[in-house]
Each structure stands twice: as C-alpha cells, then as structure tokens.
C-alpha cells in the first residue's frame, strides 16, 4: 500500500488532469449510452436530425445542392481509409526519423479506436436512423459513431503530437484548433447526411477524446523523459 501511495505521490499534475478528463469523458459516454439504451434520447435525436431537412420533404437536405457534396467530402475525412492512410504515413515518417515510440503512439491511437469502435458497435447494435434516405453508404450499426470516434482519436492525437514540437503558442493553438475543428465537422456531417443519430456522434466524440488524451499523455512521457533514441533537441522544429 505504501508503494502505491508513493507512486501516486510522484505523479505530476498533468497525470491527474488527464485522469480526471478521461474519467469525465467515460462518465459522459456511460450516461449517453444508458439514455440511448432506455430510448430516452430518441425524440431529441429525431428532432435534431429532421431540423436539418426540408420540413415539407425530409428527403431534401437544408442548404444549397452543393452542400450535400461538401458533407460527403468532410465525412470521408473520418473514414477508415483516409485515417488509416494518414496514420500509416505519419508512422513511416516517425520511423524514418527514429521516433519508434511515437510511431507506436500513432498506431495505438488509430488501431485502438478501430478496435474499440468495432467492439462497442457490436455490443450496442443500435439501428441506423430510418427517418430519411442515407446520403452515403453504411455497413455497420449506429452506436457509437465510428467516424466520430476515429477522427477524435486520430486527429486530436496527431495534433497534440505535432503541437509538442512547436515553441510558438500561436502555432500550438492553430494546430489544436484545427484538430478539434476537423473532429467536430466529421461528426456533424454524419448527422447532416442522415447516417447517425446525434447521440451516436456525441458518444463517439467522448470515447475518441478519452483515447486521444491517453495517447497524448503517453507521447508526452516519451518526449520529456527522452525515451526515444535521439535527444529532444533533434526532433521536429
């Protein structure tokens, strides 16, 4: 017991902040999942989804005709193909500059989110929205949104990783804001295209963000404790 207390006492403040944020995210996910399982969110989900449609004809999306194509382009940014290719490219780059530990973090961010998405979808097996015709093809169950989870885990992890090597707070802020914006846009596009309930997206964001936080903290330890094979001073400017 004394060893455990000593170990906990040595943890830096960042550890406790990350632990608190992960716990909060997972608590929110469990609350949403509980409400979804009991059917308490269906009325709200339907109202939000239909608010993005023409009241006279729910098959018509609100906005100009080109906006639907924009939604499809954005939703592709959260797809397995795009994020896998992006992650593989980043991992190869990190391996080439001898940052094997950080490459492992990227693999964990994307691969772990893919596995978690598959397991959660199989466990909940929620039906896709059937109020409107789907504007894009879907093959899996609805809860939680895999696109939202995977984009949160991958983009937030990559953004946090890149921001660690920047000295300007403005550049750091730009990178993080871009990562968050991409994550939000992908999730919103899933609801806009009618392939997910809003609560699916929120659940995906919570799990993906929690996973990204864990990956960020792990990468932070690798950088600050100089676990990588080269000194920090040789890393990306």
Tokens encoding 99: 């940052």
- How far is residue 166's CA from residue 232's CA, in Å, rounded to a whole number? 12
Q: Which whole-number Å values give the CA distances from 118 to 80, 142, 199, 208, in the listed order?
A: 12, 11, 17, 13
129 DSSP assignment: P
Spot the catalytic one: 98, 134, 196, 234. 196
Tokens encoding 61: 């999306």
> Which residue from 155, 150, 162, 164 is spatially nearest to 14, judged by alpha carbons?
164
- 147 catalytic, yes or no? yes
- 196 catalytic, yes or no? yes
CB 191 within 8 A of CB 52: yes
Spot the catalytic one: 98, 134, 147, 234. 147
Residues recognised as catalytic: 147, 196
């Amino acid at each position: 017991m004394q060893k455990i207390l000593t170990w906990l006492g040595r943890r830096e403040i960042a550890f406790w902040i990350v632990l608190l944020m992960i716990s909060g995210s997972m608590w929110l996910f469990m609350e949403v999942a509980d409400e979804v399982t009991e059917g308490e969110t269906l009325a709200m989900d339907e109202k939000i989804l239909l608010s993005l449609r023409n009241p006279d004809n729910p098959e018509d999306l609100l906005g100009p005709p080109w906006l639907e194509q924009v939604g499809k382009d954005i939703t592709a940014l959260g797809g397995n193909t795009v994020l896998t290719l992006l992650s593989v490219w980043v991992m190869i780059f990190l391996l080439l500059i001898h940052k094997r530990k950080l490459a492992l973090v990227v693999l964990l961010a994307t691969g772990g989110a893919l596995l978690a998405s598959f397991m959660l979808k199989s466990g909940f097996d929620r039906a896709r929205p059937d109020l409107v015709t789907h504007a894009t093809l879907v093959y899996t169950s609805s809860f939680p949104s895999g696109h939202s989870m995977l984009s949160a885990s991958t983009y937030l992890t990559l953004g946090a990783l890149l921001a660690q090597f920047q000295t300007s707070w403005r550049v750091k802020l730009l990178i993080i804001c871009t990562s968050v914006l991409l994550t939000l846009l992908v999730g919103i596009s899933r609801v806009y295209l009618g392939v997910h309930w809003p609560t699916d997206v929120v659940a995906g964001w919570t799990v993906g963000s929690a996973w990204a936080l864990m990956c960020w903290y792990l990468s932070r330890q690798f950088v600050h404790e100089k676990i990588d094979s080269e000194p920090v001073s040789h890393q990306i400017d």
